[in-house]
Amino acid sequence: MSKLSPKTGPFDVNTKIIPQTEGIKYAGSKKKLIPQILTLAKKSGAKTVLDGFSGSTRVSQAFASSEYNVISSDKAIWSEVFGQCYLKAKKPKAYYEELIAHLNALPGRDGWFSEHYGGFAHNDHKNIQQKMPWQIHNTRKLDSIREEIDNLQISFNDKCVAITSLILAMDRVDSTIGHFSSYLREWSPRSYNNMTMKLPKIIEGTGNHSVIRGDIFDTIKNEDVDLAYFDPPYGSNNEKMPPSRVRYSSYYHVWTTICLNDKPNLFGKVNRRQDSRDNADPSVFEEYRKNPEGHFIAVEAIKRLITEASARYIMLSYSSGGRATAEELYEVMNDAGELVEVIEVDHKENVMASMVWTNDWLRDAQKPNREFIFLLKKR
Ligand SMILES: C[S@@+](CC[C@H](N)C(=O)[O-])C[C@H]1O[C@@H](n2cnc3c(N)ncnc32)[C@H](O)[C@@H]1O
């Protein structure tokens, strides 16, 4: 059985094709790998691309800027909102500027978000001991702006532009380590700043894009594309890791609430939404257990993804820290088609290398997790 191994040389990135993208802090965001993703995608000759786990939408934005027709899809509502904003907003810039200026000018006031997520910086207040993701002057702005967005008679797409701008503004003044399952003990320096909404960098161009919110297995049933890019949650191969380690709905529960503005029931120390509990709305890709046949559920899901996707080419991002071993991935790719290229990303040395599929992706406890991007031509 062959595995991954010796580097065949550096991976040549076409630096002429690096577009600007924008987004929140997001676990597993491929912001830094966009040049490599675009260079690999170009080799497929694709015109239509499915970004099947679009998350922050940075990759979707990069594809859209590069003249592909993009289908941006994820199960998370914030991803749909970002996708609508960056890929589908078509009104003149001046319209959105006026909308954002109106929202920025609103005075802050106490409301649901301040009650649950706003804290005080001075020790003369009862809330001083409680860790919170934002200082109260910013949640007060959030409260008045989010309410006004619902009061305005604007289209769904315009709302998505306003909510994206609002989420990015709140992301710039948070006091977290990048997600909302714990908050910093001391206020971060940026949390003292005043949140200010800015015009999102909406993608210009003539591409025909669509945005879907839903489970990937429903999306691939209905979409036929030249290239499908899959960046699923990696799960973890650490047996001791609890199932909640990277669960997107629990990491970013507050973004869900800002999108929905539904004042949900909350639980726990960090005031998570009830529907972000570990046993609610699970993703098979985040599953760490085996099925009754003794196979990892997350690995079976990746196999199913590659087999069922209706695409000439598939690009898969995966980490050596994930559930699937090299052998398992090799087997499924070999069954599904021909592996055109694999690149390994070494974040520490900041290098990318092309690889040949020979013998060696094993879990090496000494080595940090390595990330790979596979380009597969389907049979
Ligand atoms: C590694 S992140 C993707 C990051 C993205 N490529 C970026 O650059 O921001 C994985 C994404 O998979 C989504 N996800 C998890 N399970 C899913 C499923 N069954 N169907 C669709 N999306 C899913 C999560 O919401 C999350 O946004």
Residue 219 Cβ inside 6 Å of ligand 1? The answer reads: no
**Ligand 1 mean position, distance from CA 286 (Å):** 10
Residue 28 Cβ inside 6 Å of ligand 1? The answer reads: yes
User: Tens digits of per-residue pLDDT, 117-136?
Assistant: 999 987 655 555 568 999 99
Under 8 Å between Cβ of 179 and 33 = no
Under 8 Å between Cβ of 166 and 197 = yes
Residue 67 sits at φ, ψ, to 5 deg, of 70, 15
Domain ranges of the chain: 9-89+203-244+282-378
Q: To the nearest whole percent, how much of the chain has pLDDT over 90?
A: 66
* Cβ count within 10 A of residue 307: 12
What residue has token string 């003249």?
67
Helices (H) and strands (E) in the chain, counts: 12, 13
Q: How far is CA 282 from the centre of its chain?
A: 16
Q: To the nearest whole percent, how much of the chain has pLDDT over 70?
A: 84
Task: Give the residue from 202, 200, 206, 201 showing the smallest Cα distance to 68.
Answer: 206
**Ligand 1 mean position, distance from CA 66 (Å):** 22
Residue 29 Cβ inside 6 Å of ligand 1? The answer reads: yes
Task: Give the residue from 276, 302, 298 showing the smallest Cα distance to 285.
Answer: 298
Residue 341 token pair: 């290229």
User: Tens digits of per-residue pLDDT, 99-116?
Assistant: 999 999 999 999 999 999
**Ligand 1 mean position, distance from CA 341 (Å):** 23
Sign of the alpha-carbon torsion through 64, 379, 6, 320: positive
∠ CA 187-188-189, nearest 5°, is: 115
Among 162-176, 181-195, 226-240, 255-269, which stretch is predicted with the lowest mean pLDDT?
226-240
CATH superfamily of 9-89+203-244+282-378: Vaccinia Virus protein VP39 (3.40.50.150)
**Ligand 1 mean position, distance from CA 93 (Å):** 30
- Which residue, by CA, sits nearest to atom 27 of ligand 1? 55
Residues paired with residue 213 on neighbouring β-strands, in sequence order: 74
Distance CA 99, CA 104 (A): 9
Residue 272 Cβ inside 6 Å of ligand 1? The answer reads: no
Q: What residues contact 35, with CB distance under 8 A and at least 6 apart?
A: 13, 14, 15, 17, 18
Mean pLDDT of all residues in 201-222: 96
Please give the model's pTM, rounded to 2 decimal places: 0.92
Residue 282 Cβ inside 6 Å of ligand 1? The answer reads: no
Nearest atom, ligand 1, residue 59 CA:
8
Q: Which of 24, 63, 74, 252 to mutate to test the pocket of ligand 1 (most atoms within 8 A of CB)?
A: 74
> Could you tell me the end-to-end alpha-carbon distance of the chain, in angstroms, rounded to an integer?
21
Strands 210-213 and 69-74: parallel
The better pLDDT of the pair 125, 61 is held by 61
**Ligand 1 mean position, distance from CA 23 (Å):** 14
DSSP state for residue 371 in the 8-state scheme = E
The better pLDDT of the pair 243, 281 is held by 281
Residue 74 Cβ inside 6 Å of ligand 1? The answer reads: yes
Strand residue runs (E) in 83-204: 118-119, 134-135
User: Tens digits of per-residue pLDDT, 236-276?
Assistant: 555 554 443 568 999 999 999 999 999 999 999 999 999 99
**Ligand 1 mean position, distance from CA 29 (Å):** 9
What residue has token string 């600007």?
20
